Structure 1
Amino acid sequence: MKRRDIIEFEVGKMEFGGTSVSMLGNREIHMKGGLTGQKVKASVKKTRSGKADVKMLELLENSPMETVTPCKHFNACGGCSMLSVPYEKQLEIKEKQVMDLFLNQDIFGFQFQGIEGSPQERLYRNKMEYTFGDEVKDGPLTLGMHKKGRHIDIVTVDGCFLVDQDFIKVLTSTVEYFNEKDLPYYRGMSHKGYLRHLVVRKGVNTKELMVNIVTSSQVDFDMTEYKEMLLSLDTDAEMASILHTINDGLADAVQCDELRVLHGRDYINEELLGLKFTISPFSFFQTNTKGAEKLYTMAREFVGDHSDKVVFDLYSGTGTIGQVMAGAASKVYGIELIEEAVVAANNNAKLNGLTNCEFVAGDVGKTVKNFKVKPDLIIVDPPRPGVHKDAIRDIAGFGAKEIVYISCNPKTLVLDLVEFKNYGYEVEKVKCMDMFPNTPHVETVVKLKKI
């Protein structure tokens, strides 16, 4: 077997994160994507001793697990790799994948409380970031998601199962409107063009909608008519915020050089477990609102009685978890790197009348060691790369009796748990929460106790 060879095989074991490992003869085949039992055709990208990395070219035969009819974009869009699998089976797969990661790091002896399913397995997303482009070269304007395995081609996902009809109406009306205007979309290779992204956010519990059209500054276009078109849509939620973001950055990401408010305000409101939060166009908020309520309730149960305790909320974002815990705590201190999120967290605390919350901006690994206060409880909710080793050392140095770790990436979670063990913390209990049905991702909550 050598590079660029075309091979056919049956997909074997699915690993966390959407990869698979199969056997072909005596060689281990690693591939992005794939469901156990599928038969696929793939191209060899790289070989090494006893192993090969391949890219799927064609699905030859479905897996016996695939008994659900997916959306019409399933084979083109790369968003929902498990949509064709019954939801209960998805939960089984994710639970086993997480437990395998724990066993591979020899983490034993804890109470495993299984996996909680999302309250909604479809229509659960409160945010979508769409990209302008075309599905085929020089074809009509499209607006949606990147095609599976492609960096350029965009498919208009007007039949997406993850969002409700408000998202679909905004998406389809926007692409129809700009198709008529014949404006060029922004091309990442040449950095020329105008239309870049469309970001839609929804307050699920407040019924407020935000639409943010993102363009370059290369065309002077009046968005008044577009705004009026959006306001004429028959949406379930109130059109509370229509924004125009100017972004001349070179990266294929939504950044802001200038923000123009076309209608309403530059934020929407949301409510979570009885608390109020303002969501700006660029602030982080869990994309599954009903799932987040379940996740934070789970974390609160893991924390248990924390009355009159000092709580550290590390990687605090907009302060959601810290504020959920603030009702019984004597004091909550939050640390977050992104200054805008810290401002939002402090504003949200004021909005909720919480006088015992204080959020500060800084890198957790550097800022936490400067705190003079000793915490009784530490909550850690890091980004996907996990917690830096130096930060683990400093966090453990406080000697808190309990640490609750909320992870969006169990691969880095288990590595961090090994590090915490070196500082005298053992895993007491673990529970998974499926925040992202039909995708390979899952959240995991862990309670650590000081030995």
Structure 2
Amino acid sequence: MRCGYFDAGVCRSCTLLAQPYPDQVDAQARHVRAVLGDPADVGWLPTVVSAEAGFRNKAKMVVAGTVDAPTLGILDAHGHGVDLQGCPLYPAALSASFAPLAAFVTRASLTPYDVPTRAGELKHVLVTASPDGELMVRFVLRSTEALARIRKHLPSLRSDLPHLVVASVNVQPAHAAVLEGDHEILLTERATLRMRVNGLDLHLRPRSFFQTNTEIAAALYRQAVAWADEAAVTSVWDLYSGVGGFALHLARPGRDVVGVETSAEAVASAELTARDARLPGTRFLVGDATAFALAATDVPDLVVVNPPRRGLGEPLSRRLEASGVPRVLYSSCHAGSLARDLTHMPSLRLVRAQVLDMFPHTHHHEVLTLLERTP
């Protein structure tokens, strides 16, 4: 992939872009195996590769500049805006939204937040595109001062972006490197964006997490299903279940699936998908994964964990070790935290693994592993 921003030195977010893509993939696989100690007798599946461009389903655009000339992109070292509307990581549905959104900033008189002076209102514009080309747009504001103007001019934005189906305002008042706040104000009739993955409509609410790369996420879920079906599991816990990607894909007649997630919005999204798809034996709970596992009096055939970069942590890892659960399917975005967690689960042996290139041109990765209890 060629990128004029990278060549000009104005954006280096894709740190590996100068390397040929096949070399990036090979190095990533070697890195993951090395961090995990390259254990013997592990069945490593081929790395799942991504499209090199146009793969991101979400744009997190910092808004800077002025009302009349806003920039959408990132900030430079001095806190000034670098416009990245032509970034090749975004598919056409996202790229086509940037110019109308910049024009909307001007039309609604949304003053971009200036980091050096701590003045202004609009901090970010977050845009998510579904596989069907529908859009969710979120305006991250310092306060609700501009809310009335956004509501007033929203019809014109929807006219410019006919595929815009969900819009909201998020309030993040702190001067801190925090993307969004806790207060979300929905502006549209629809509250969810339908993310069609492997024929399943996952409902994504404004503050719900979803993987950045839809095609690689689909491959991740397919592989998890293949391993679970091969083992003929009849009961599953999906800890850190999010909007239910793993749990809903694993749902089958005769299989009991419980998803546990701290975000009430994500749980509501998962429940909506389960109802729409009429998936039997599927329940979702709002709660902490570690607290749920520690309080449980029985264990399922399979535990699925997909934690944040910090990993499971020692309490949950040790609980899984002591629980007697026969299998754990661990999806990790950080091989180092995965390796640490594995040291607390010595009875659960790594038997299969696959690296998935969720984030091309970077050192980030996703690795799916299957752990089985040794006799």
Question: TM-score by structure 2 length?
Answer: 0.90
Instruction: Please tell me the residue identity of whatever aligns with 1:146.
Output: L
**Contact 1:312 1:332 survives alignment (8 Å):** yes
Mapping 1:217-228, distance limit 5 Å: 217=143, 219-220=145-146, 222-224=149-151, 226-228=153-155
Alignment correspondent of 2:272: 347
Structure with greater helix share of residues: 2
Q: 1:135-154 residue pairs with structure 2 within 5 A?
A: 140-147=69-76, 150=77, 152-154=79-81
Is the CA contact 1:70–1:84 (under 8 Å) kept in the aligned structure 2?
no
| Counterpart pick for 1:359 among 279, 284, 302 | 284
Name which of 128, 131, 141 aligns with 1:215: 141
User: Aligned equivalents of 1:140 and 1:222: distance in 2?
Assistant: 18
Query: Do residues 394 (structure 1) and 316 (structure 2) align?
Result: no
- Give the one of 373, 376, 391 matched to 2:301: 376
Q: Tell me which of 105, 108, 112 is aligned to 1:178.
A: 105
3-state SS of paired residue (2:31): helix
Alpha-carbon distance between aligned partners in 1 of 2:310 and 2:362, rounded to the nearest angstrom: 19
Counterpart residue type for residue 213 of structure 1: F
CA contact (8 A) 1:102 1:414 kept: yes
Q: Distance in 1 between matches of 2:292 and 2:170?
A: 32
The residue number in structure 2 matching 1:253 is 179
CA distance in structure 2 between the partners assigned to 1:352 and 1:382 by the alignment = 26
| Structure 1 unaligned blocks of 5 or more | 1-67
Residue of structure 2 equivalent to 1:16: none
| C-alpha contact 1:270 1:279 (8 A) present in aligned 2 | yes
Task: Give the aligned partner of residue 5 of structure 2.
Answer: 72
24, 29, 43: which one pairs with 1:111?
43
Matching residue's letter, 2:63: F
What letter matches 2:57 in structure 1? N
- In the aligned structure 1, how far is the partner of 2:319 from the partner of 2:182? 34
CA contact (8 A) 1:311 1:329 kept: no
CA contact (8 A) 2:3 2:87 kept: no
**C-alpha spacing 1:419/1:193, structure 2 compared with 1 (3 Å):** same
Between the aligned partners of 2:130 and 2:338, the Cα distance in structure 1 is 30
Mapped contact 2:233–2:301 kept (Cα < 8 A): no
Query: Given that residues 306 and 329 in structure 1 are in contact (C-alpha distance below 8 angstroms), is that contact kept between their aligned partners in structure 2?
Result: no
Distance 1:304 1:260 in 2: 39
CA distance in 2, matches of 1:328, 1:93: 41
Partners of 2:184 and 2:237 lie apart in 1 by 35
Quick one: which amino acid aligns to residue 19 of structure 2? Answer: V
* Aligned counterpart in structure 2 of residue 131 of structure 1, from 59, 62, 69: 62
More strand by share: 1
- Between the aligned residues of both structures, percent identity stands at 26
* 1:144-188 alpha-carbon deviations (Å, 9 max, x no partner): 1233xx372321112111112332232223224434666432244
Q: Does 1:445 align with 2:368?
A: yes
| More RCO (CA 8 Å, sep 6+) | 2
SS in 1 for 2:220: helix
CA contact (8 A) 2:48 2:216 kept: no
Choose which of 82, 105, 126 in structure 2 pairs with 1:155: 82
Aligned to 1:291: 216
What pairs up with 1:280-359 in 2 under 5 angstroms?
A: 280-307=205-232, 309-327=234-252, 330-359=255-284
Say whether the 8 Å CA contact 2:100–2:161 is kept in structure 1.
Answer: no
Residue pair 1:375, 1:398 contacting (<8 A) in 2 also: no
Counterpart of 2:91? 164
Kept after mapping to 1: 8 A contact 2:203/2:243: no
The whole-number CA distance in structure 1 between the counterparts of 2:362 and 2:254 is: 35
CA contact (8 A) 2:10 2:82 kept: yes
Normalised to the residue count of structure 1, the TM-score between the two structures is 0.76
Larger C-alpha radius of gyration, 1 or 2? 1
Q: Which amino acid aligns with 2:354?
A: K
Q: Which amino acid aligns with 2:4?
A: C
Aligned partners of 2:6, 2:144: CA distance in 1, in Å? 32
Output the CA distance in 2 between the equivalents of 1:403 and 1:180. 52
The CA deviation at 1:391 is 0.6
**Secondary structure of 1:282's aligned partner:** coil
**Gap regions ≥5 residues in structure 2:** none
- C-alpha distance in 1 between matches for 2:201 and 2:4: 34
**8 Å Cα contact 1:146/1:152 also seen in 2:** yes
CA-based RMSD of the aligned residues comes to 2.5
Measure, in 2, the Cα distance between the counterparts of 1:234 and 1:189: 32
Q: Which residue of 2 aligns with 1:121?
A: 52
Q: Could you tell me which residue of structure 2 aligns to residue 417 of structure 1? A: 342
* Residue 25 of structure 2 is aligned to residue 91 of structure 1: yes
How many residues matched? Answer: 371
Q: Contact (CA 8 Å) 1:169, 1:233: kept in 2 or not?
A: no
The 3 A distance-change label for structure 1 pair 418 and 107 is farther
Shift of the alpha carbon at 1:331? 0.2
What's 1:24 paired with? none
Cα deviation, residue 450, structure 1? 0.8
How far 1:247 sits from its partner (Å)? Answer: 3.4
Q: Could you tell me how far apart the structure 1 residues matched to 2:179 and 2:299 are?
A: 39
Q: Which amino acid aligns with 1:211?
A: V
Name 1:38's counterpart in structure 2.
none
**Cα distance between partner residues in 2 of 1:306 and 1:352:** 24
1:228: how far off? 3.6
Other structure's SS at 1:240 match: strand
Match of 2:164 in 1: 239
SS in structure 1 of the partner of residue 127 of structure 2 = strand
Change (3 A) 1:402 1:329: farther
The structure 1 segments of at least 4 consecutive aligned residues displaced by more than 4 Å after TM superposition are: 179-183, 188-191
SS at 1:406 equivalent: strand
**Residues 69/227 of structure 1: CA separation in 2 closer, same or farther (3 Å cut):** same
State the alpha-carbon separation in 1 of the partners of residues 34 and 68 from structure 2: 45
Aligned CA distance change for structure 1 residues 431 and 329 (closer, same or farther; 3 Å):
farther
